[in-house]
């Protein structure tokens, strides 16, 4: 008979695992970093100085003097100093590129980008005799407005400077060139990388790239994208990275579009047809793109670790024979994952497919042996297995419904994100609810349906069957993440075969249980490790995922999935226990107390703790809007401060501090205006449908927008061509809406084919660096007949992210009133609508 304490341990295994995740993560860091720290301080001692000097200039928005002059001059000065001290074995070439171009991208529902005279600092390190092929290392030195951008991405540029310094001083010549691209317009949705890879004279020599990014502040840099279809690059990482942290699961999650983000990896892959590796810091995403992203929050260990890994990779690739023939090694995907940060396992996806089917076949043989028994026993086993299989699925479904009802209830009463600043609240609320419901369902089945109590064997087989089916399905979908299911089938099955003992109440000794637990230890620990990585990425994202996605529902679903996975092979112990009453009472009590505390508002979502801030993000735009009619007359105008809270809670937590910000000033959509008549900097209107508009004084920027129609031409193919010229600040957004029975057939942007955003309007993101000429473009429209209200509406929004026009006195005064647990990011903008 099992001891009750052991039963509690087994029943609460998933809860215990989720609660131990942060500790596991910290232990993992210690294992990885301690052996190398002494060596790396010497090699990368100047990185922090670079980082502090780059961020000292302040926010580096594209077009600002801080980005285009101060940072560029600093980089050039450091590169020149490195060149002076470089070895005679190498040659360093420097180029300042200021490209102009346009492209369309399906990110954020699809839009088109146009850039003019933005800045790239490009450095080529090559053998004295020159090199035909090159590997690219990419970072970006620009930042989003109002943030210092230490982790995103000044630290990567600092690491690259020191790697350039280290490689250039080496007396060993390289076989291939290393190109260091310090790109100055990544936050403008990947503009600078596009300008480089499509226009720079060195771009054609590049055979592979490493992209350095951030989705958090410091920590470990995760390899979350590779390829496409270049297993040799992953093998290079396996060989060269001294502190590996990589996951094909992260790659497939990111490329699914679930995470609303993108990197320069896409540009090099899609427009350059070049294979590469994408790395990003993912720890502490709560302060990513906020004023708290400062150099002091990035640990020296993070810088050392990243530098060691990237230096090793670049050294390996720059001396590899495979680089020159990289396209010859383009054959299939690769399964890769690190084992607790100690080493990386990588093998071709086709090998993984074979392994998955072999594991499935062994499972079929194991279950088939039980079916091929004497007739009566086989029929009874099949019946019991089918019933148990159906009941397991039913218990999962009922648990799913129960937990989601709780999450929806929390969202409806306005208590969402209570766990944002208190990780354990989510486990105590949704984890205990899931575990209690699962245990209750099986307890009821045991009491009222099953007449015998020796069912541990059957429910073990059910778990094996479920995960085998999942393994086959995921493998059939071509997903490399199937290795997780393979692990979750192979280890339990191997353990069971080695034990040679059925899960029977009389034979289930403590010794047997401990052997079983040891067999499950490796897959269980890895699932915990992977779960925490996903937690670490996703929870901070919930604070900037918009007003339309209920974060509690998302997190509850994730915790529920984790609970189901982690409890799969332990629920069978319920059928070995005499009673689960105390376990259920404990779980229910914890859930009930947590629910009461959450509903009463005890757990405030945000924090202003200087050591560990978790701010609420709010965008404030002081906008003046003007709407013009077909004849050019001003139809109406207004001014106000347009407010967007970036999470599901909107501004409900801010209203008690600033009473005039309440639901009485919710915005109304201008139905006839593109994007509802508001100045979106990016086409994220479908994510932020709840926003507020506080009336304010009219603004008059010193550098206003000038928008004019230059030409109107009837084309021979029965379409109308309209040519426009626009001048204004460094950032502008153009919105186009063809009227009913009119279509936008072509334009001078992107590849010439208009790309509509979600909702049907056309969105063009425009940015320029210094000394850019006026922007000229044309559109071509076709109409079935003449319209009294015109053919098309065009709106131009101008955004003032820096300089004297950035903030009005009224905007500044309002921002000063925001509580210290918020991060209000504000700027001035204008919106002008024209009809033609």
Return d(Cα 420, Cα 540) in angstroms, integer.
8
Return d(Cα 771, Cα 59) in angstroms, integer.
20
For residue 714, which phi and psi values (nearest 5 degrees)? -85, 120
**Residue 254: both structure tokens together:** 């990111």
Return d(Cα 130, Cα 826) in angstroms, integer.
49
Q: Is the separation of the CB atoms in 746 and 780 below 8 Å?
A: yes
Which are the contacts of 405, defined by CB distance < 8 A and separation ≥ 6? Answer: none
Q: Is the separation of the CB atoms in 319 and 176 below 8 Å?
A: yes
Distance set, CA 298 to CA 148, 158, 220, 283 (Å): 13, 12, 11, 10
Active site residue 804: no
Report helix, strand or coil for 815.
Answer: helix
Of 126, 186, 213, 221, the catalytic one is: 186
Return d(Cα 787, Cα 784) in angstroms, integer.
9
**Residue 515: both structure tokens together:** 């052997």
Distance set, CA 171 to CA 53, 86, 168, 319 (Å): 29, 9, 8, 14
**Residue 435: both structure tokens together:** 């575990």
Q: Which helix (H) or strand (E) holds 279?
A: strand 276-281
How many other C-beta atoms are found inside a 10 Å radius of the C-beta of residue 636?
Answer: 11
Q: DSSP of 182-249, one letter per residue?
A: EES-STTTSHHHHHHHHH-TTGGGEEEEEEEEESSSSSPEEEEEEESS-HHHHHHHHHH-SS--BBHH
Burial of residue 803 (CB within 10 Å: 0-12, 13-18, 19+) is middle
How many other C-beta atoms are found inside a 10 Å radius of the C-beta of residue 409?
Answer: 13
Cα 823 to the chain's mean position, in Å?
A: 20
Q: DSSP of 329-396, one letter per residue?
A: G--S-EEEEEETTTEEEEEEHHHHHHHHHHHHHHHHHHHHHHHSS-HHHHHHHHHHHHHHHHHHHHHH
Q: Is the separation of the CB atoms in 15 and 584 below 8 Å?
A: no
Q: What is the β-pairing status of strands 616-628 and 634-645?
A: antiparallel
Burial of residue 682 (CB within 10 Å: 0-12, 13-18, 19+) is middle
Which are the contacts of 283, defined by CB distance < 8 A and separation ≥ 6? Answer: 216, 217, 218, 219, 220, 302, 536
Beta strand ranges found along 646-741 (DSSP E): 692-695, 706-715, 719-727, 731-738
Report helix, strand or coil for 606.
Answer: coil
Spell out the SS3 assignment of 399-417: HHHHHHHHHHHHHHCCCCC
Q: Which helix (H) or strand (E) holds 617?
A: strand 616-628
Which are the contacts of 470, defined by CB distance < 8 A and separation ≥ 6? Answer: 485
Return d(Cα 180, Cα 786) in angstroms, integer.
55
Q: Which helix (H) or strand (E) holds 105?
A: strand 101-105
Q: Is the separation of the CB atoms in 417 and 570 below 8 Å?
A: no
Report helix, strand or coil for 828.
Answer: strand
User: Buried (b) or exposed (e) across 817-831, using 16+ Cβ within 10 A?
Assistant: ebeebbbbbbbbbbb
**Residue 372: both structure tokens together:** 């091929």
Q: Which residues are catalytic?
A: 186
């Amino acid at each position: 008979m099992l001891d009750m304490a052991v039963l509690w341990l087994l029943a609460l295994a998933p809860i215990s695992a989720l609660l131990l995740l942060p500790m596991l993560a910290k232990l993992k860091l210690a294992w990885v970093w301690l052996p190398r720290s002494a060596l790396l301080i010497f090699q990368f001692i100047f990185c922090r100085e670079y980082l502090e000097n780059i961020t000292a200039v302040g926010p580096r928005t594209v077009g600002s003097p801080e980005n285009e002059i101060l940072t560029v001059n600093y980089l050039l000065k450091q590169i020149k100093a490195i060149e002076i001290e470089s070895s005679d074995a190498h040659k360093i070439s420097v180029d300042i590129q200021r490209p102009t171009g346009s492209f369309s991208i399906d990110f954020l529902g699809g839009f088109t980008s146009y850039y003019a005279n933005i800045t790239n600092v490009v450095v080529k390190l090559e053998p004295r005799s020159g090199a035909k092929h090159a590997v690219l290392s990419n970072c970006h030195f620009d930042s989003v407005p109002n943030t210092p951008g230490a982790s995103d991405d000044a630290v990567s540029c600092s690491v690259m400077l020191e790697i350039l310094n280290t490689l250039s001083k080496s007396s060993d010549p390289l076989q291939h060139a290393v190109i260091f691209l310090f790109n100055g317009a990544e936050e403008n949705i990947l503009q600078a990388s596009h300008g480089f890879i499509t226009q720079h004279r060195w771009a054609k020599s590049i055979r592979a790239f490493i992209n350095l990014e951030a989705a958090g502040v410091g920590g470990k840099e995760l390899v979350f994208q590779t390829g496409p279809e270049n297993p040799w690059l992953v093998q290079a990482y396996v060989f060269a990275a001294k502190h590996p942290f990589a996951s094909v699961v992260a790659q497939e999650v990111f490329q699914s579009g679930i995470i609303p983000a993108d990197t320069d990896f896409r540009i090099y892959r899609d427009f350059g047809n070049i294979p590469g590796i994408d790395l990003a810091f993912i720890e502490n995403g709560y302060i990513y793109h906020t004023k708290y992203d400062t150099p002091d929050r990035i640990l020296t260990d993070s810088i050392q670790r990243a530098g060691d890994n990237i230096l090793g990779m670049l050294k390996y690739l720059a001396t590899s024979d495979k680089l020159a023939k990289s396209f010859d090694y383009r054959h299939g995907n690769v399964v890769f994952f690190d084992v607790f940060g100690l080493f990386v396992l990588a093998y071709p996806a086709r090998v993984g497919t074979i392994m998955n089917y072999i594991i499935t076949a062994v499972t079929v043989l194991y279950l088939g042996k039980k079916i091929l028994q004497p007739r009566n026993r086989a029929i009874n086993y099949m019946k019991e297995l089918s019933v148990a299989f159906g009941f397991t699925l039913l218990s999962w479904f009922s648990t799913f419904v129960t937990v989601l009802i709780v999450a929806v209830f929390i969202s409806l009463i306005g208590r969402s994100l209570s766990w944002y600043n208190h990780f354990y609240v989510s486990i105590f609320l949704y984890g205990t609810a899931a575990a209690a419901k699962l245990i209750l369902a099986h307890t009821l089945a045991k009491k009222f349906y099953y007449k015998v109590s020796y069912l541990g064997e059957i429910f073990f087989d059910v778990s094996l069957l479920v995960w085998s089916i999942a393994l086959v399905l995921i493998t059939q979908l071509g997903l490399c993440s199937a290795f997780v299911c393979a692990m979750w089938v192979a280890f339990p099955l191997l353990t069971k075969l080695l034990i040679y003992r059925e899960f029977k109440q009389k034979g289930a000794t403590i010794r047997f249980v401990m052997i079983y637990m040891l067999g499950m230890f490796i897959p269980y620990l890895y699932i915990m490790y992977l779960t925490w990585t996903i937690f670490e990425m996703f929870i901070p994202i919930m604070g900037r995922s918009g007003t339309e996605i209920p974060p509690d529902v998302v997190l509850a679903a994730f915790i529920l999935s984790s609970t189901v996975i982690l409890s799969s092979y332990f629920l069978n112990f319920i059928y070995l226990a005499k009673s689960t009453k105390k376990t259920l009472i404990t779980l229910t009590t914890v859930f009930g107390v947590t629910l009461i505390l959450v509903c009463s508002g005890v757990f405030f979502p945000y924090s202003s703790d200087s050591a560990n801030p978790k701010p609420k993000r709010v965008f404030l735009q002081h906008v003046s809007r003007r709407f013009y009619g077909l004849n050019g007359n001003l139809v109406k105008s207004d001014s106000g401060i347009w407010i967007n809270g970036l999470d599901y809670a909107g501004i409900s937590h801010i209203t008690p501090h600033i009473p005039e910000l309440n639901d009485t000033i919710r915005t109304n959509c201008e139905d006839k205006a593109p994007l509802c008549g508001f100045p979106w900097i990016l086409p994220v209107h479908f994510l932020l449908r709840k926003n507020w508009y506080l009336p304010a004084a009219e603004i008059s920027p010193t550098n206003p927008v000038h928008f004019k129609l230059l030409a109107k031409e009837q084309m021979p193919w029965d379409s109308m061509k309209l040519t426009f010229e626009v001048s204004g600040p460094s950032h502008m957004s153009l919105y186009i809406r063809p009227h009913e029975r009119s279509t936008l057939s072509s334009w001078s942007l992107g590849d010439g084919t208009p790309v509509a955003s979600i909702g049907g309007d056309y969105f063009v993101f425009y940015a320029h660096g210094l000394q850019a000429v006026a922007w000229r473009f044309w559109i071509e429209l076709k109409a079935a007949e003449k319209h009294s209200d015109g053919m098309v509406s065009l709106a131009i929004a101008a955004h003032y992210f820096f300089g004297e026009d950035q903030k009005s006195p009224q905007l500044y005064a309002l921002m000063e009133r925001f509580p210290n647990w918020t991060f209000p990011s504000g700027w001035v903008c204008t919106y002008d609508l024209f009809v033609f």
